[in-house]
Amino acid sequence: MSIRSILKTRGELTQNSSAKCPIVMSTRIRLARNLAQYPFPGWAKKTQKEEVLGKCLEVVARIPKIKNPAALRIDELKELERQILFERHLISRELSNEPEGAGVIISANQACSIMINEEDHLRIQVIKNGLHLKRAWNFINSVDSSIEESLDYAYSEHLGYLTACPTNVGTGLRASAMLHLPGLVISGQMEKVVRAVNQLGIAVRGIFGEGSDASGSFFQISNQQTLGESEADIVKRLNSVIGTIIEREEDAREKVLEAESSKIFDKIGRAYGVLKNGYLLSSSEAMNRLSLIRLAVDFGSFPEQSRLLVDRLFIECQPGHVQLKANKEIDLTQRDVLRASFMREAFADLPEPSFDHITR
């Protein structure tokens, strides 16, 4: 089976942008689960992993909640196909790099993927566009229960769901949200926010490189602890932390607009110029420029419909997806040329940003 069917269908992350909560790009929950009778994948023999893969594929493919799934063996996928699934957050780097006995089941809308023989026998993941932690939990909870109807999970009354890494034991649940925080980055407040959030047992992942917006100002906020707190409480707490971060980000944007509007308009204008007219574009430059365009959509400087375009381009500007457009593997420079060319195309019809309504 190839991944073509996945690429043809509307995806949760590429086709579903919502303006309701512009700061939160997406919400994700994953559950780590293991079968009771087998060693964890990192310690299992090849035959054991194959057995686990066979059982899991059979059971998961029959789950009514996951409609028209694609069931893939990683060892049957080409390097580029793995890269594309990784860029779409459907498989992890680890699963891609260790294909022995590894598989994945992906729902047609790409909102649910179940990795088999990654760090744990099963890694169930649900992605939703925007901030929908509760909805994601309800959905993944029911998927998990349907799988468990047919498979005996490794579980102890005292420690909960038993996982390969002790950091996941208990609920096996990691909830996260991908936040777009250019305001906090530009105003130099990100580090302070990270510190405050950490006090609540919540982790922020992101590269605070020189200039600090090297990653497009995206940050993943997630719970770090899984034992001693129920799923509902983890989700509730994360939700409230995210709420606070959103308030801070809105605040920061307002202040940046008040104090340094020309600086920020200049950044947006230049990003627009480069994306519309550039001929060489690396993926990290593309991410950073697109990040500013997304901010400008939030400001109302571009039409709201362009949000969908920008969110799609975040994924399509990744190296694997650029090569998918080329229909073959191409080197770095060729990728930068091609990336710039489809950005020019994508931005050709986008009108210039308008800031009049902000400056009044």
Partner 1 sequence: MAESINCDICSKLATVHLTQIVNGKIHKIDLCETCAKEKGVTDPNGFSLADLLTSGVENEDFEAVHKDLVCEECGFAPEDYKKLGRLGCPRCYENLAPMIAPMLAHMHKGVSHVGKNPENTLIREVSRQKESNIKAQLQLAIEEERYEDAAKLRDQLMQLGEENETSNVH
Which residues of this protein are in contact with partner 1, per CB under 8 A?
34, 36, 38-40, 42-43, 55, 58-59, 89, 92-94, 119, 141, 144-145, 148-162, 164-171, 173, 176, 191, 194-195, 198-199, 201, 203-205, 207-210, 220, 224-233
Q: How far is the CB of 234 from partner 1 (least distance, A)?
A: 8
Q: How far is the CB of 286 from partner 1 (least distance, A)?
A: 18
Instruction: Identify the bridge partners of residue 192 per DSSP, sorted by sequence position.
Output: none
Q: How far is the CB of 326 from partner 1 (least distance, A)?
A: 25
Task: Choose between 111 and 204: whose C-beta lies nearer to partner 1.
Answer: 204
Q: How far is the CB of 96 from partner 1 (least distance, A)?
A: 10
Q: How far is the CB of 151 from partner 1 (least distance, A)?
A: 5
Q: How far is the CB of 65 from partner 1 (least distance, A)?
A: 16
Task: Choose between 139 and 208: whose C-beta lies nearer to partner 1.
Answer: 208
Contacts (Cβ under 8 Å, ≥6 apart) of 143: 63, 65, 66, 112, 114, 124, 126
Q: How far is the CB of 303 from partner 1 (least distance, A)?
A: 30
Q: How many angstroms separate the CA atoms of 107 and 360, rounded?
A: 47
154, two tokens: 């490794």
Task: Choose between 208 and 342: whose C-beta lies nearer to partner 1.
Answer: 208
Task: Choose between 39 and 269: whose C-beta lies nearer to partner 1.
Answer: 39
Contacts (Cβ under 8 Å, ≥6 apart) of 356: none
**What letters, b where the CB count within 10 A reaches 16 and e where it falls short, cover 159-192?**
ebbbbbeeebbbbbbbbbbbbbbbbbbbbebbee
Task: Choose between 36 and 61: whose C-beta lies nearer to partner 1.
Answer: 36
Q: How far is the CB of 349 from partner 1 (least distance, A)?
A: 33
Task: Choose between 59 and 309: whose C-beta lies nearer to partner 1.
Answer: 59
Task: Choose between 206 and 353: whose C-beta lies nearer to partner 1.
Answer: 206
Task: Choose between 152 and 352: whose C-beta lies nearer to partner 1.
Answer: 152
Q: How many angstroms separate the CA atoms of 90 and 125, rounded?
A: 8
Length of the chain: 360
Task: Choose between 5 and 230: whose C-beta lies nearer to partner 1.
Answer: 230
Q: How many angstroms separate the CA atoms of 262 and 260, rounded?
A: 6
How large is the C-alpha radius of gyration of the chain?
Answer: 21
β-strand 173-180 against 160-161: which pairing, if any?
A: unpaired
Q: 204 by DSSP, 3-state: which?
A: strand
Question: Is the Cβ–Cβ distance between 280 and 337 less than 8 Å?
Answer: yes
E strand or H helix at 295, and its extent?
helix 283-299
Q: Which of 259, 284, 264 is nearest to 335 (CA)?
A: 284
Task: Choose between 36 and 332: whose C-beta lies nearer to partner 1.
Answer: 36
Q: How far is the CB of 237 from partner 1 (least distance, A)?
A: 10
Q: 179 by DSSP, 3-state: which?
A: strand
Q: How many angstroms separate the CA atoms of 326 and 104, rounded?
A: 25
Q: How far is the CB of 333 from partner 1 (least distance, A)?
A: 22
* CA distance to 277, 313, 314, 341, per residue, from 345 (Å): 9, 12, 15, 6
